[in-house]
Amino acid sequence: MGIEIEDKFDVSPEYELPDLSALAEVTGPESRHLIALYYDTPDLRLAARGVTLRRRRGGADAGWHLKLPQARGVRQEITRPLTRKTVPAELAELVRAYTRGAELVPVAELDTRRNVTVLHEDGTGLVEIADDRVKGTVLGEEPKVVRWREVEAELLESGTKKLLAKVGKRLRKSGATPSQAGSKLAKLLEPAPIPTAATKPGSAGEVVLAYLCDQVQALLAQDPRVRRAEEDAVHQMRVAARRLRSALKAFRTVVTGTRAIQDELRRLGDVLGEARDLEVIRARFTKELDGLAPELVVGPVRARLGDDLRERERQAYGRIGEALSDERYYRLLDDLDALVAAPEWGKAADKPAQEELLKSARAAWERVTRAYDRAQAIDDPGRREIAMHDVRKAAKRARYTAEALIPCLGAGMAELAGPAEDVQEALGAYQDGVVAQRLLAEEAARARKAGADTFTYGLLIGIERGAAERAHAGFPKVWKKTCKAVAKVL
C-alpha cells in the first residue's frame, strides 16, 4: 500500500519534454510497455466515484492495483501480485461499499507506451516523469478505441511537493496543460454522474445538500480503510456517520423524513464506537504507564492492560467486519444515495440560506443551554452527572451544525463551533476519566484473581480520578467563557 501523489498533464502528439537538469540529476528516458485491464461494474460504479481497479502487465510494478481517491492528485494505492484475470477476493471486498453486490467485469483496456525520466539525488529518486502514448479501448459489443498522449509527474518517496511543483511549472511552460481527468480511465470512460437533486441557488436546501453529499463521500472513502484496520479509519468513519446524523437532526426543516436513516447511522456509529473507544483507552493507559517511574510499575500490568484490551479490540473489529458485510449496511448506503438524489424537502428548503440556517445554529445552541439547565436543576449528584452527558451530546451537535454552516455563514460559525467543542471536550474529559476508572477496576479484579499484584492498577485509578475531578472542577469556568463567546455570535 502507498500514497500516490502526482500531477497529470495533457500534451500534443508533437510535445517535447523540457530540460529538467537544473532541478536535479536526470536519468532516462527508459522505455516501457504497459497493458492494463480495468474492472468495474457494468454501470461503472467505481469510475463514478473516482476508484480504479486494474490488472497490469509490464513495467516494474506488474500486478493488481486498486487506487482510492484521497484528494485531488492524491490517491491511495493498494497492490497485489499478478494473478489470473479474476479480481482478488481481498480487493473485491475493499470496493464492496461501491459495488454493493454488482459483478466486477472488464470494462476497458489501456495499452501504454511509456518513456520514464527520473529526477534523483545521489541515486535516490525524487520525481518520476512518465511520458505516455496511450491506446484506450472501451470493451463491449462494439469496442471503442481512443488514442492520446499525456505526461504524469509523480512524487517519489524522497521527493518534496516543492520540487513536484517546480517540475509542473516547467512542463506547463513547455506547452503541457493540467489535466481535468483524475486518471487515464476517466478520459476513456464516461460514467453517469452521481445523482444529486437540483436546488435553488442560494437556498438553505443548496447548502444542506452540499454538506450531506460531502459527508456521504467521506463515509464511503473510509470504508476500505476500516476494512483494512488502518490507523484512525474507524474514528473518521464514525465522525462522518455522526456528522450526517447530526445534520439530519439539525436541518430537519430543510430535509425531512430521515428518521430511519438517522437510526441506522446511530447503529453504525455504535458499532464503530466500541473499537474506537478501546483504541483510545489502550493508548491512554500506555501513555500513563510510560509516565510512571519503573519501580511503580509492578507485575505484568503493562502486558495485561495491553493484551486484554487488544483482544477486546480485535473482537470489536470482528463485529465491525460483520456489520460492514451485512445487507443492512448496504441498504443504508443505498438510502443515503437516494437521499442526496431525491430528498424529501421541508418547508425551509427554498428559503434564503443565511437567514434560515442561522436559525438552525441558534436552535442547536439553545438545545445545549436547555440540557444544561435541566442537569443543574437535579439535586442528586449521580443523576446530575448522567444528565450532563446530554449536555455533551447537545454541544457536539451544535459544533457539527456550526461547522457545516461555515461555508455559508462564515467566521461567525467558526467562532460558535470552537466554544461548543470546548464544552464537548471538557465534559468528555470527565466522562473518559470515569470510564477509565471503571475499566481499571475490572482489570484489577482479573489480576487479583490471577494472583497478581494490583498496586499499579490502584495508582492508575488515582491518576484517572484526579484527572476527572480536575475536569469537573474546571467546567464552570469553561461554561461561563463559552456562553460569553456564543452570545457575541448569536
1 pLDDT higher than 80: no
Reply yes or no on whether the pLDDT at 73 is more than 70: no
pLDDT confidence tier of residue 37, bands split at 50, 70 and 90: very high
333 or 280, which is more confident? 333
pLDDT at residue number 182? 74
Give the residue carrying C-alpha cell 476508484. Answer: 51
Local confidence band at 4 (pLDDT 50, 70, 90 cut-offs): confident
Q: Are 74 and 4 in contact (CB under 8 A)?
A: yes
pLDDT confidence tier of residue 255, bands split at 50, 70 and 90: very high
* Tens digits of residue pLDDT in 184-210: 888 888 888 899 999 999 999 999 999
Give me 258's grid cell: 430521515
pLDDT, one tens digit per residue, over 79-117 is 999 888 899 999 999 999 999 989 999 999 999 999 999
Phi, psi values for residue 33, rounded to 5°: -125, 115
Nearest to 331 by CA among 266, 271, 272, 261: 261
Taking only the tens place, the pLDDT of each residue in 133-144 is 999 999 988 889
pLDDT on residue 181: 82
Grid cell locating 463: 491518576
pLDDT at residue 184, rounded to an integer: 85
* Per-residue CA distances from 390 to 132, 360, 394, 403, 458 (Å): 58, 19, 6, 20, 30
Q: What is the pLDDT of residue 142?
A: 86
Question: What pLDDT is stored for residue 206 in this prediction?
Answer: 96
Cβ atoms of 481 and 423 closer than 8 Å: no
Task: Indicate the residue type of 340.
Answer: V
Residues contacting 103, CB < 8 A, separation 6+: 41, 42
User: Using an 8 Å Cβ cutoff, are 384 and 375 in contact?
Assistant: yes
Q: Which of 218, 207, 250 is nearest to 401 (CA)?
A: 250
The tens digit of pLDDT for each residue in 379-420 reads 988 898 889 999 999 999 999 999 999 999 998 899 999 999
Can you tell me the distance from the alpha carbon of 61 to that of 58, in angstroms, rounded to the nearest whole number? 7
The answer to whether 340 touches 197, Cβ cutoff 8 Å, is yes
Question: Rounded to an integer, what distance in angstroms lies between the CA atom of residue 120 and that of residue 157?
Answer: 11
The residue written with cell numbers 438517522 in the block is 262
**pLDDT confidence of residue 490:** 81
Grid coordinates belonging to 388: 450532563
Nearest partner of 230 among 374, 68, 383, 362, judged by Cα: 68
- Beta-carbon contacts of 44 under 8 Å, excluding residues fewer than 6 positions away, are 107, 189, 191, 192
Mean pLDDT of 150-162: 91
| pLDDT at site 334 | 96
Per-residue pLDDT reduced to its tens digit, 284-330: 999 999 999 999 999 899 888 888 888 989 999 999 999 999 999 99
Q: What is the pLDDT of residue 309?
A: 87
CA neighbor of 430 nearest in space, from 397, 383, 479, 475: 475
As a whole number, the mean pLDDT across the chain is 92
What grid cell was written down for 366?
Answer: 439553545
Q: What's the pLDDT at 464?
A: 94
Long-range contacts of 404-409 (CB under 8 A, 24+ apart): 404/208, 404/211, 404/243, 404/247, 404/250, 405/207, 405/357, 405/358, 405/360, 405/361, 407/207, 407/210, 408/207, 408/353, 408/354, 408/357, 409/354, 409/357, 409/358, 409/361
Cβ atoms of 293 and 281 within 8 Å: the answer is no
**What pLDDT shows up at residue 261?**
97
Residue-wise burial string across 290-299, b where 16 or more C-beta atoms lie within 10 A, e elsewhere: eebeeeebeb
Angle between helices 259-290 and 233-250 (to 10 degrees): 140
Tell me the mean pLDDT in the region 333-355. Answer: 95
